[in-house]
Structure 1
Amino acid sequence: MSSPQRADRNSAASTSAVTSLRERKKAKTRRTIQEEALRLFAEQGYEATTVEQIAEAAEVSPSTFFRYFPTKEDVVIQDDYDPMLLEAIRAQPPDLPPLTALRAAFRTAFESIGPEELDQMLARIKLTTSVPALRARTVEGLFATIELLAAAMAERSGRDPRGPAVRTLAGAVLGVILTALFGWVEQDGRTPLLVLIDEALGYLEAGLPI
């Protein structure tokens, strides 16, 4: 006869396995919706593509689409990179200077992104720079990213995340990252994104010499 403790452990393990499977299925559905949306946008244009068409291509209902993406804009704007970057920043040794830690964190985060995902990122950035509605939503996301970077840097240094020094650093970092992203789009992805980002951060780390 199994003990109550063993039964509890088995039950907990079973619940964890079910939860993990559910999360994987949700991630797969989310990824499929986004992939099909980007394919349709490339084939027939952003404005001409409807949520219903995306849902049909992804083999989900429109209501399921809206559970994952509140609007059509969100299927382009949303990604998982901010949490991934935050985790990479927190993993850096505490004695590293702020920009050195950020540069290493970006390397860690972007090295984990595969070629197919990078192609999707390139397509999404092209859309956000060419569709007015997406440009407006992108600006909102930029403010959120500045706050995330500021919070991460403040956590490392014990400084106030709302202080001008921390926010200025976060804004400067985001500025050079945007420059790298725009260059990547202009080159149509010929130069690896990580190379462009690391070069831009290195330029900032050196004090922006001209």
Structure 2
Amino acid sequence: MAGLRERQKVSTRRSLEDAALRLFAERGYDATTIEAIAEQAEVSPRTFFRYFAAKDEVLDMGWDRRQAELVSRLSALPRDLDDAAAAAWVLRTMAEDFLAERERVELRAAALASSPTLRGRAADSLLAWQATLAAVLAERAGLDHPTFAHRVTAAAAVATWVAAFGEWISDPGSDLVALLDAGYEHLHGTPLVEPGRSGSR
């Protein structure tokens, strides 16, 4: 029963997210009410607030969970892998998780375009990912706090991620992972190689 309840909660949350993303893209964020989202998802507004404190939280698409996954994956990489390659590789593997969610990513982008408030929230989320990357890179080096070099490396990796996602959304024929690989190679002058394989740095 516990497993069934958990699956139902996940399903309801996903229905609310999908309803909100569609409405935000169609009507704009500011013109979309919580009541409209709940109606589209076939639940009550009270149910909405069991999952989200406010309607802007719907746009997170599990960022807290994904950020925890980023920490786990980065921490598991070989310590002799240099920082730039480690940051790029972990974001590359995270991007693979989005490949099956292209439609949702496109709807989210349309929602962000409709609201300066949402764009600010998205920018804060990216800064949080950047800070997390820098912190874990420092931990890999046995440091309590990231250095300037760690922060620069994290910033470059996240900027590449943003550029790749923008290209992927605007060009239906593009390959997100290939774009991230190309971005890394452009910045560092060498292809990104899977950790542990010959040629990795």
Q: CA deviation at 1:184?
A: 2.4
Distance, in Å, in 1 between the alignment partners of 2:92 and 2:130 is 18
Look up the equivalent residue of 2:95 and give its one-letter code: F
- 1:154-182 alpha-carbon deviations (Å, 9 max, x no partner): 12222343422211211121122122222
Residue 100 (structure 2) pairs with residue 119 (structure 1):
no
Residue 73 (structure 2) pairs with residue 88 (structure 1):
yes
Q: CA deviation at 1:52?
A: 0.5
Tell me the residue number matched to 1:36: 19
Tell me the residue number matched to 1:179: 163
Distance, in Å, in 2 between the alignment partners of 1:22 and 1:153 is 38
Alignment map for 1:1-210 (pairs within 5 Å): 18=2, 20-80=3-63, 81-115=66-100, 117-187=101-171, 189-206=172-189
Q: CA deviation at 1:183?
A: 2.1
Distance, in Å, in 2 between the alignment partners of 1:23 and 1:148 is 28
Stretch deviating more after TM superposition (58-67 or 143-152): 58-67
Q: CA deviation at 1:206?
A: 2.7
Q: CA deviation at 1:145?
A: 1.3
Identity of aligned residues (%): 39
Q: Partner of 2:55: helix, strand, or coil?
A: coil
Distance, in Å, in 2 between the alignment partners of 1:97 and 1:132 is 37
Q: CA deviation at 1:35?
A: 0.7
Q: CA deviation at 1:114?
A: 4.4
CA contact (8 A) 1:86 1:148 kept: yes
Distance, in Å, in 2 between the alignment partners of 1:21 and 1:141 is 31
Look up the equivalent residue of 1:151 and give its one-letter code: A
Gap runs ≥5 in structure 2:
191-201
Stretch deviating more after TM superposition (77-86 or 29-38): 77-86
Q: Partner of 1:161: helix, strand, or coil?
A: coil
Larger Rg: 1
Residues 51 and 40 of structure 1: CA distance in aligned 2, closer, same or farther (over 3 Å): same
Residues 168 and 103 of structure 1: CA distance in aligned 2, closer, same or farther (over 3 Å): closer
CA contact (8 A) 2:22 2:107 kept: no
Q: CA deviation at 1:83?
A: 2.4
Gap runs ≥5 in structure 1:
1-16
Query: What is the aligned length?
Result: 188
Q: Partner of 2:79: helix, strand, or coil?
A: coil
Question: Which ranges of 4 or more aligned residues in structure 1 deviate by more than 3 Å?
Answer: 20-23, 42-45
